[in-house]
Structure 1
Amino acid sequence: MADKLKKSVIYLYGLPSFGFQIFIYVELMFFSAFLTDAVKMPVALAGSVLMITSIFDLIWVPVAGIILQKSNLKWGKFRSWLLIGPPVAAVLYVVQFLKIGDPMTNAITACAGFIVGHLVFDVYYSAHIAMNSALTDRVDERVKMSANRGIFNALGSLTFSYVGVRAIQEISKALNDPALGYTTVVIMVALFMVLCYWIFFFLTKEYAFRGTVPVTQKKESMSVPEILQELFHNPPLIGLLLIDLGRYVGKFVVLGLAFYYFKYVLNDLPGMAIFMTGLTVVMLVSATLATTVSKIFGPRKAYVGALCIFIAGLLITWLVPMSATAFKIVMLVSFIGYGLPDALVVAMYATCVDYGEWRTGKNVRGFIMALLTTPIKVGNFIKSVIITTALASASYVADMTPTPELIQAIKNGFCLYPALVMIFGLVVFVILSRKLKDMENDLAAKKASAEN
């Protein structure tokens, strides 16, 4: 892999992520609302749909990694999925947001579209992530692509916040049918997502088999147990999964408890809209700065330092009484600690792929890169536990008077609990990532020996 990648490949590496963010945000923000308000599904039935789909969403992570690792299609091991996965997922996504028959029938179709669709999502999403390390072994190119993905992620979130939400409202009103409004928007974002993936597919034609074995040659063959064992031979990967889990718990809890914090702690519910927009802008700016910061400090130190900012912001907010304005400033600054690592994380998983191959001689790039979604899904589950625990500890009921117990419970859930999860992940990562030094020293020694 001596030749440098084309600039178009490096700078448009994040394009599929842009399309995916706009695509998936309909589900993240409106799936439950579609079930209860558009389809008029009973709350208990809608809750069952959400629970069943969440369970499968967790199960599919290792399954998708194994599928990606063991597949080897004609257009490139990872690149092929960018062509065939998105259109299949698009159809299933429409099924998920389609009003058909009575509520029970709709529950079945929504579950089917979600369950099968998310398995497909996980495979092609992970294939795109895996291409970061497959396309190049240059650290600077990996970091640039990872940072550009972070920028496109933030742009996708921002675009949907301004365009997607309004589109659902306006189209539903124009059609005088909320369910059909959701379905129409889903079709539009699904087509746009497919286009983004296909553009990058064609951009990478000449790099189709970089870092992999062409389909015409002998296939990379490992059994499922061998693939799973690679996780336990890779301490830096375990550390990265845990530190990343803490980061996502921090983000999801902040987003999930923001309503309660602004309403009961700050008494400034209108300020929540400005705050949420500010978070997206901060993440965009952080992603833009990621390449420069990584060049100065290195990806691992930049990640750890940024997460310390996030933790410090949460602990300061927990300890110090603040006005609404001071709270917004502290939290927006602290969210640099989420946004900057988000732009570097793909490059760091790529390093774990290198470490695994260096230690065992086996390349399980597809499986390892698919694990990137594990902290997201586990973090979302832990978020639900934290929010439920915090509110239940103060016997919360809607529109209750903000008692000292409620205010402290919300602050604990918003600040203290996620900070503790992040501190644990940070400590474990710092300890386990030291193993990377062995690989770096060995490769440096081999390079020096070759030059002499």
Structure 2
Amino acid sequence: MAEKLKKSVIYLYGLPSFGFQIFIYVELMFFSAFLTDAVKMPVALAGSVLMITSIFDLIWVPVAGIILQKSNLKWGKFRSWLLIGPPIAAMLYILQFLKIGSPVTNAITACIGFVVGHLVFDVYYSAHIAMNSALTSDVEERVKMSANRGVFNALGSLTFAYVGVKAIQAASIAFNDPARGYLTVVIMVALIMVLCYWTFFFLTKEYAFRGTTLKSQKTEGMPIREILKQLLQNPPLIGLLLIDLGRYVGKFVVLGLSFYYFKYVLNDLPGMAIFMTGLTVVILISATLATTVAKRFGPNKAYIGALCIFIAGLLITWLFPLSPTAFKIVMLVSFVGYGLPDSLVVAMYSSCVDYGEWRTGKNARGFIMALLTTPIKVGNFIKSVIITAVLASAGYIADMTPTPELIQGIKNGFCLFPAIIMIIGLIVFVILSRKMKDMDNDIASKKIKTELEII
């Protein structure tokens, strides 16, 4: 049995996630604004940039998983990417937010920076996630690291919400140029991100080859076809991907439709700022409770129970007319159902790696852990479809007088549709995750058999 991990490794496992959150939030919140308002790109051209980059963002998920699975660099299969990936991604991120030449030239540089950059950071992001199962086989250590990642994720989001947005505004005013303001903050967050990943890289030096094969040892590489088959032969993984997809759709739709909900349904647009801050705080609190809850009920049951809270909150909001205050209370409580699973999900993907190895005799850790980003990217795409459909069906025009059709459409998009997607994912997950018991029973029986042989 491997030695227990140092506490510094366990409790700072989430440090790269902190850097990644403040790094990527510039793009999540301001990339389209940078294109249209800072670069003065025509809307049609900016829309083309967003569409092209979104398509590649989806394509890169399996590609990054295959690269990670088949690579084996000298500082450890997964750990190496923490060293070489972040500085490359940082330079490409700067290119993405660099105003240069005509709008068409900017469209090209933004696409290159985004497309190549996202492939790079999909690989090193997944490498960090994969280290959860590579560093230790101890379930308790995995859950602690997963929960700490959730805490650092929330802290990163909260830090950017308070500091990053203001920094962009201040830099834009100081330079009297929004483009230079964005670029300045991008450089700052890129440096912080690199430092966070490199810190964890050095912390894990003595564990570089845990759960992997030494680069000097000859191994039979897994063919790409065999890597892809790992998904089809892993029912618990399919169930986890679907339930996680529902959870992310819920989060992204809530974030994407909040402006319309507060403006047209609640008539309380100023309350949106308090609501958004409250969501981040709730996610942070949920992350701190995740280890205790998982220890008491187990990661799977904790995830299922939390998601039921999320679904219940959305359905209550859809069924009953709520005041702005009551709405905030119900939704903030329900977001425990997002935050708690977010802190457990890495450990759950690690269990799917174990199941895949038990079922097939082959370890596809890199590929499976890279799939963690699939629900995020597909969920973001589904969010865009829901929001577009809701607004189009109600004939939405900016600042229009709220009609019953618009109000009901927003409520359906905000509450009902995500709840339905989550319910479907929950049912599939409950059914498919039962397969995990086959592995647990087999391991338990082998353990008993070994003990009897010793006696």
TM-score between the two structures when normalised by the length of structure 2? 0.99
Q: Distance in 2 between matches of 1:351 and 1:429?
A: 14
Q: Distance in 2 between matches of 1:78 and 1:308?
A: 34
What residue in structure 1 maps to residue 351 of structure 2? Answer: 351
* Counterpart residue type for residue 109 of structure 1: T
Q: CA deviation at 1:445?
A: 1.3
Q: Distance in 2 between matches of 1:122 and 1:394?
A: 37
Q: Distance in 2 between matches of 1:450 and 1:175?
A: 70
Q: Distance in 2 between matches of 1:451 and 1:314?
A: 50
Q: CA deviation at 1:218?
A: 1.2
What residue in structure 1 maps to residue 289 of structure 2? Answer: 289
Q: 2:255 aligned with 1:255, yes or no?
A: yes
Q: Distance in 2 between matches of 1:182 and 1:292?
A: 40
Per-residue displacement from partner, 1:244-268 (whole Å, max 9, x unpaired)? Answer: 0000000000000000000000000
Q: CA deviation at 1:220?
A: 4.8
What residue in structure 2 maps to residue 86 of structure 1? Answer: 86
Per-residue displacement from partner, 1:312-367 (whole Å, max 9, x unpaired)? Answer: 00000000110000000000000000000000000000000000000110000000
Q: 2:49 aligned with 1:38, yes or no?
A: no
Q: Are 1:213 and 1:220, in contact at CA under 8 Å, matched by a contact in 2? A: no
Q: CA deviation at 1:393?
A: 1.4
Per-residue displacement from partner, 1:141-196 (whole Å, max 9, x unpaired)? Answer: 00000000000000000000000000000011001111011111100100110000
Q: Distance in 2 between matches of 1:145 and 1:160?
A: 22
Q: CA deviation at 1:403?
A: 1.1
Q: Are 1:70 and 1:220, in contact at CA under 8 Å, matched by a contact in 2? A: no
Q: 2:320 aligned with 1:320, yes or no?
A: yes
What residue in structure 1 maps to residue 141 of structure 2? Answer: 141
Q: CA deviation at 1:135?
A: 0.2
Q: CA deviation at 1:448?
A: 2.0
Q: CA deviation at 1:219?
A: 3.0
What residue in structure 2 maps to residue 104 of structure 1? Answer: 104
- Helix, strand or coil at the partner of 2:446: helix
Q: Are 1:11 and 1:145, in contact at CA under 8 Å, matched by a contact in 2? A: yes
What residue in structure 1 maps to residue 382 of structure 2? Answer: 382
| Residue correspondence of structure 1 range 116-265 to structure 2 within 5 A | 116-265=116-265
Q: Distance in 2 between matches of 1:152 and 1:43?
A: 36
* Counterpart residue type for residue 49 of structure 1: V
| Structure 1, 13-22 or 386-395: larger mean CA deviation | 386-395
TM-score between the two structures when normalised by the length of structure 1? 0.99
Per-residue displacement from partner, 1:263-300 (whole Å, max 9, x unpaired)? Answer: 00000000000000000000000000000000000000
Q: Are 1:72 and 1:219, in contact at CA under 8 Å, matched by a contact in 2? A: no
Q: Are 1:36 and 1:46, in contact at CA under 8 Å, matched by a contact in 2? A: yes
Q: Distance in 2 between matches of 1:195 and 1:2?
A: 29
Per-residue displacement from partner, 1:21-78 (whole Å, max 9, x unpaired)? Answer: 0000000000000000000000000000000000000000000000000000000000
What residue in structure 2 maps to residue 432 of structure 1? Answer: 432
Q: 2:435 aligned with 1:403, yes or no?
A: no
Q: CA deviation at 1:390?
A: 1.1
| Residue correspondence of structure 1 range 268-307 to structure 2 within 5 A | 268-307=268-307
* Counterpart residue type for residue 350 of structure 1: S
Q: Distance in 2 between matches of 1:340 and 1:348?
A: 13
- How many residue pairs get aligned? The number is 452
What residue in structure 1 maps to residue 95 of structure 2? Answer: 95
Where do 5+ consecutive residues of structure 1 fail to align? none
- Helix, strand or coil at the partner of 1:433: helix
Q: Distance in 2 between matches of 1:175 and 1:27?
A: 20
* Counterpart residue type for residue 358 of structure 1: W
Q: Distance in 2 between matches of 1:318 and 1:220?
A: 54
Q: Distance in 1 between matches of 2:130 and 2:218?
A: 20
Q: Distance in 2 between matches of 1:336 and 1:289?
A: 10
Q: Distance in 2 between matches of 1:446 and 1:144?
A: 27
Q: Distance in 2 between matches of 1:362 and 1:174?
A: 56
Q: 2:18 aligned with 1:24, yes or no?
A: no
Q: Distance in 2 between matches of 1:148 and 1:287?
A: 7
* Counterpart residue type for residue 337 of structure 1: G
* Counterpart residue type for residue 123 of structure 2: V
* Counterpart residue type for residue 138 of structure 1: D
Where do 5+ consecutive residues of structure 2 fail to align? none
Q: Distance in 2 between matches of 1:146 and 1:277?
A: 23
